[in-house]
Structures are given as structure tokens and as C-alpha cells.
Structure 1
């Protein structure tokens, strides 16, 4: 499909229909906002389909997109089993037919699907004869191969695929190798604070050590590991505290209860704050002496980049995308996942060595600006969509 051109040789606007599974405002949601900014800056008209109303809607409209809230299938963890995927497949035909009708009625020149959790959008776009770009934010490698192959099978209908990290690409191609020629890695573009961050506060021996974490309250994010690490630090004589920015993912209320119970034990009592959803998080990051990203799995790690933008020293898990974002001992400290003792040791090193903390913070800030700029990300995504439209 080619784009028409205006009299001055510029490509005329094309409508891009974007499908996204969540109305929330976390990593992949904010990344969608940057994608849409890039498409609108390139002259496209953007229509976004969401399954539910929520805070993302007003942000998308402020960015210049039109938003339609409509029901469609979103994969949940309960469906990630042979029986669940089989049931999903048997119910697919009416859903694909309905989405194909919606896509045709939208008169979109291309469809962009954000995450693999909305499986029938790529299939429906292909059935409607509309090119589709699938943006993969997942790097699942812990589930059974059969499940992972089924989860990613709908991407065979995509014309192009963008993965947000090499880890996400490798996990995808491990189970769907036919997608190799259609897949490229585009690291997220993560916005920094509006003003330069304050420098790290000078700390004297015996001063408190303030740690921050930003992320959903879910086992994947390893909040429990962070609490245990802070408990170990305190037992070693460090006056450490932790502030966590993030709300619980629906269905994981039990996990928040466990975290709150853990925070009342003697080693942590009075030194952990679970702040709930916080936006913007810059004041919390700026008040911290160090930031922790203890994820058990992380396809990219926007919060690690935000810590780097904030010029705060970082301790993170050596997993998937985090190992691509953070260069160990250069822009942060990497430790094994699910290892509270190793995380406590890394935080202890930052607490005991202000020169190390300052060096990592400054190098991280420079790296974030160079590698993960919003402007570069927007330009790259617009270029890929334009290439899609030209074929």
C-alpha cells in the first residue's frame, strides 16, 4: 500500500489505527504515548482502540489521538495454559470477524498492535487487507514452549514486528523463527524530567540511606526482594529506608497484603512506604540516594532508564532487558535476580562509597540521554510505519 503525496512532494496524512490492551499508565502504556507522538509529528492521523476507559484515555487525547473504547479480547494469565489457549482459539472466529469489520470501517492505512496480549488484532488486520505492525513488549521465557508458541502465533499475521529489546526478540524467535526477517529491535525512548535533576545529596557516615523503587506491586517486579534486601541492610547497621511507587495489578491483592505484612516486621517497621500509584515519580527519585529495580523478569526496564535520567545510582537484576539497559559497574550495579543478599550487598556498596554512587549516577544520566532519547525513538517508529505504508 502506498501513500499519496501532496503537491510539495510530502507524503499526505494516513490514518493509523492503534490497538492497546490497557487504559493504565505504566511502562508499555507510556511507551504507546511516545509512539503516538512520533506518528502525529510525522503527519499521521491516529485512532486508538482500548478495551476499557481509564487514565490513559485523556493522555492519548492530549497527545492528539482520537480514542474509541470498545470491548475486545485481552489475554490474561489464567488463559496461558493448553486448555486456556485452546478455548481462546475456538472462540476466535467471531472476534476476528468483528475486528476485521471495525478495521475496514476505520479506513486505516495501517494497524499497530501494542503487546502480544491482544492476539486477534494482527489476524483481523491481515484479513482486512491492512498492513500491521506488532510492537512486542514481552520477553516470556519461563513458560512451557507450547504456551509461548501459541501466545506468539498470531504475530505470524503481522507485516512487521518491533521488539523493545534483544531479549524480547530472542524470546519471540525462539518459538516463532519464521518471524526473523520481519523483526527488529527498537529500544524504548524514555522521557526525562523537565528540569535537570538535583545532584546527589552529600552524605556523612551514619546518615540515613534512602532507597526508591518504581513498579507495579507484582511478584515479577520483585518488590518482596527489595524489602528483604533493605531488611538485611538494616540488620547490618545501615539506617536504610524504602519508598515504593506503584499500585497492585488486579488479581494480585494478596501480594500487596504480603508486602504490607513484611513491612511491619521488626527489621523494617516504620522504614517502608508503599505509596501507591505516583505520577510524576521524579520527586521520589530525586529524594533518593539510590534506586532499585529488582525484577525477576523485565523485557526492557523503563524505570531503570528513569533512574538514570534522574542521576541516581542504580542496583538492578541481571535479567533480560535490564542487562541491555544497565552496564554493570558503569551505569549501575547488576545482581542475580531473586537474590536479596546480593541486592543488599550492591546497595551497601553504594551506601558506603559516595564516589562510586556519584560516578554511576553521572554516567547513567549521560547514557540515558544518548541511548534512550524520546526524539530518536519517535523518529524510528515513524520511519518503520512509513516503510510499512510504502509496500
Structure 2
């Protein structure tokens, strides 16, 4: 087994299994890491060997992997340049990234060959760009797992040429202006979701949160779950709470933002606080910070608000559906692929915070409507977003890329099992 230490000169043998390499930067943590980890843990170890690689060995991803019991290696080169920061031009970032890639290629090629990597499965922008060319040179098949904007440069100009297959988390996330046609090597595979553990019933979860907040029992609890970044529109969440408070002053309400800024916009929470102050609703907003596990808090709120725009496919939206928390989301990005308006959730126009008010009020005051929404959402979540569904689709892609090797290995293991049982 690979240990949580620096790369050893000793080659880790795959024992005939298919080796899938999952490299990550490791300096920030998000939903993509959760999804990739679920895949790694669910892969059949009789057939696949997962080789997890981090460029940053002491960051949040390393901590998460250790918590999950997943061993990893440290990459033979340092971390790629950070995602483009505000104020830095795209061209400058691309030049910086190109310099890194050109210098890193020999080391990464050697690494991939040493570990007999069959498939390289990348999950974020920096890693796609840094590892795709070495994969080509090393003879590994490359799966480019796209979890971002359909207009992203990499998935439109690099993936069509350098990857063997592009996986997107939603139809919305499909590259919209690819340099060449990608239909023959593109698939939509929704992110995997374990059925969240309901550690307590909703009443208990809600009471615990009410006690922490120190507010009235009848306070309407509205939740925002996600990074505090502009694309997810936390300011719009604050404005939606303010609009509700203005239109229904008799209803006590509390807007709770669970999450933290990330490397792209490290000070964006300041803009959120500024807007709260401008609207004069400091008594109705709480920045709760990053919390893990998050499921008890999603379970405790009365409604999940998703004001994000161009969100490829949000994890917390599906988790709320599993947990019986009704969702009000923008009709944008991948949200309409999960939410059927008025059936298993409610869709509202993007960038119109006041449009959240009526659906929230209806969910609060029409128990039958709320019950129907929750029931339909749970049924949709269980039917469509399980880990098994995700793993089967991904391993089918692996199988096709390797020319049916998975099927051959399955037959081989079946024969070995029958022999060992004396059949």
C-alpha cells in the first residue's frame, strides 16, 4: 500500500490491476474532492488500483484523505500556479502555467511510467493543464473531468485535443465552443452522493441550531451552503433575506451562510458583511463559517436557497433533496437538470433576489405543498444520484478507453474465484 509520504524510488506494483491516477493540487478543498473521493473509495480494488497524488502534502485535501483512510503520494514537482487571481490577466496566468508545464513534463512523464498508470483522471483546471501532456507522452489514457463553466478555456481548447474522454457533471457544463467536435468522447456523469446519515430527526436538528443561534423557536431558518465567492451569489442570498424581512415583517427570519472564502476571492466575505450593514439586517444574518459534517445543518434549516449563477451542478442541492429540506434555486446553470419547478423544488430567475420571497413564504405556510416537494425530491435523489450509478458510468468509460480490459479482468477474477472454491 502507498504510504502518506514522499515518493519512494521503489515502484508500487499494480499486481495486474488497472492503475488509475488521481492527481490534485491540494491547497484548497471543495465539492470536486468529495466527489472524486467517493469514486476512489467505491472502485473495485480487485480490478483497479487508485494512485492518489498531491502537489501540496500539508493542505486541506491531505487532511481529508487521511480522515477517509486514503493513502497518497506527493507529486515529483511543486504545485502549479494558483488559479487566476482577481486583477491578474488571463494571458499572464496562461504564460505562468505554460512555463510550469514545460518544466514539469519530464518529471511527470517519469512518474506516470514508473507507476504503470493506465488512466489519468483529472478533476480541476490546474491539474488538467499540468498533467494532460505528460499523460499523452507516457501512454496513459486521460479522462478530463470538467466541473466548471462551459466557456472555460481549458475544456474548449485543450481537452478536445489532449484528452481521450471529457466527463462533465451536467449538460450545462459541456464545452460550448470546443476547438473541434467532442461528441464522440463526451459524457455527462452526475456527481456521486451517499445517502446522508440523518444523525437526528429534523426537529432535534433544528432545535440544536436554534439553541446555538439564540433565536426564537418559530424563527424561519434559511440556509446558504457553499464557498463565499461571487459566482455563488452570497450577496444575493443576503438580499433575498432582506426582501423577505421587508415583505413579511411579522415573520422572524434568520439567513445562515455556511462556507468560507476560497483562493479565488479570499476577501469576498467582506463584501457580504458590507451588504448586510448597508441593508441594516445584521440581526437576521449569520456567517457560520466552514463546517464538517454539513449534513446536520442542511437537515436543520427550513429551506435551502441556491442563488448561484452558472453553477455546473451543486452538491448541497442534491444533499438537501436527500435530507428532506426543500430547495429554492435559480433557473440557471445545472440547477434545472436537478430541479423540476414546482415538483421537487422551486426555480426562480437568476440575479433577482426578491423572487425568492414568494416561494419561501409558500413553503412556510402551505404544509401540503411543502410535503409534496420534499417527497418528490427524495424520490428523485434516491433514483438518480447514488454512488453506484456514478461508479458504473465512470468505469464503463475506463473500460472503453482500455479496449475492454475491465471486462477481461472481471472474467479472470471470476475464474480465479471459481477455482479457489473448487468449482
The TM-score normalised by the length of structure 2 is 0.80
Q: Which residue in 2 is equivalent to 1:110?
A: 119
The alpha-carbon deviation at position 24 of structure 1 amounts to 4.0
Q: Which residue in 1 is equivalent to 2:108?
A: 99
5+ residue gaps, structure 1: 1-10, 142-147
The farther-off stretch of 81-90 and 153-162 is 81-90
The TM-score normalised by the length of structure 1 is 0.86
Matched, 1:72 2:82: no
Q: Which residue in 1 is equivalent to 2:37?
A: 33
Matched, 1:50 2:54: yes
The alpha-carbon deviation at position 140 of structure 1 amounts to 3.8
1:242–1:117: structure 2 CA closer, same or farther, 3 Å change rule?
same
1:150–1:128: structure 2 CA closer, same or farther, 3 Å change rule?
same
The 8 Å contact of residues 46 and 66 in structure 1, kept in 2 or not, is answered as: no
Distance in 2, Cα, partners of 1:163 & 1:254: 29
Distance in 2, Cα, partners of 1:50 & 1:152: 25
Q: Which residue in 2 is equivalent to 1:179?
A: 182
SS in 1 for 2:145: strand
Q: Looking at CA atoms only, which structure, 1 or 2, has the larger radius of gyration?
A: 2
Q: Which residue in 2 is equivalent to 1:214?
A: 225
Q: Which residue in 2 is equivalent to 1:193?
A: 196
Q: 2:142 aligns with which of 132, 146, 158?
A: 132
The alpha-carbon deviation at position 244 of structure 1 amounts to 1.5
The higher-RCO structure (CA 8 Å, 6+ apart) is 1
The 8 Å contact of residues 17 and 106 in structure 1, kept in 2 or not, is answered as: no
The alpha-carbon deviation at position 123 of structure 1 amounts to 1.4
Q: How many residues align?
A: 370
Distance in 1, Cα, partners of 2:43 & 2:143: 13
The 8 Å contact of residues 164 and 186 in structure 1, kept in 2 or not, is answered as: yes
Q: 1:278 aligns with which of 263, 282, 291?
A: 291
The within-5 A match list for 1:1-391 is 12-41=16-45, 43-52=47-56, 53-61=58-66, 63=68, 65-70=70-75, 71-74=78-81, 76-78=83-85, 81-118=90-127, 119-141=129-151, 148-149=152-153, 152-155=156-159, 156-169=161-174, 172-195=175-198, 198=201, 207-236=218-247, 237=249, 238-264=251-277, 267-390=280-403
The alpha-carbon deviation at position 373 of structure 1 amounts to 0.9
The alpha-carbon deviation at position 369 of structure 1 amounts to 0.8
Q: Over aligned residues, Cα RMSD in angstroms?
A: 2.6
Distance in 1, Cα, partners of 2:51 & 2:102: 24
